[in-house]
């Protein structure tokens, strides 16, 4: 399913799990635990005023192709998991 968001992430994790199973890699952290670490790194981020915008908020929205000014809570969750996948599989997922 080329072009589906997350496709590269899934393949990367499958490759890592296979290598781990064969004993070629140390066990990796779960994607959830890494995403939580990423989310914690964003503590204190706030939108500017009440407009659903701001430097970081705009980055969260852009990660899912939404323009500034929209609700950003779900975009933030996606952004955290996207960053977690890039940390776990550097260079294997297009940016």
- Asked whether the CA dihedral 20, 25, 27, 31 is positive or negative, the reply is negative
Classified as helix, coil or strand, 77 is helix
- 28, pLDDT greater than 70: no
Average pLDDT over residues 82-92: 75
Does pTM top 0.95 for this prediction? no
Among 18-22, 46-50, 72-76, which stretch is predicted with the lowest mean pLDDT?
18-22
33: Cβ contacts below 8 Å, ≥ 6 apart: none
Burial class (CB in 10 A: 0-12, 13-18, 19+), 72: buried
pLDDT digits (tens, 9 = 90+) for 50-79: 899 999 999 999 999 999 999 999 999 999
pLDDT of residue 37: 93
- 5, pLDDT greater than 70: no
pLDDT of residue 89: 67
């Amino acid at each position: 399913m080329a072009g589906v968001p997350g496709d590269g992430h899934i393949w990367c994790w499958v490759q890592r799990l296979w290598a781990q199973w064969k004993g070629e890699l140390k066990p990796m952290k779960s994607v959830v635990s890494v995403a939580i670490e990423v989310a914690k790194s964003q503590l204190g981020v706030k939108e500017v005023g009440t407009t659903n915008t701001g430097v970081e908020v705009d980055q969260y929205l852009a990660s899912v192709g939404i323009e500034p000014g929209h609700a950003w809570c779900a975009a933030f969750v996606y952004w955290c998991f996207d960053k977690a996948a890039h940390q776990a599989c550097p260079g294997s997922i297009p940016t």
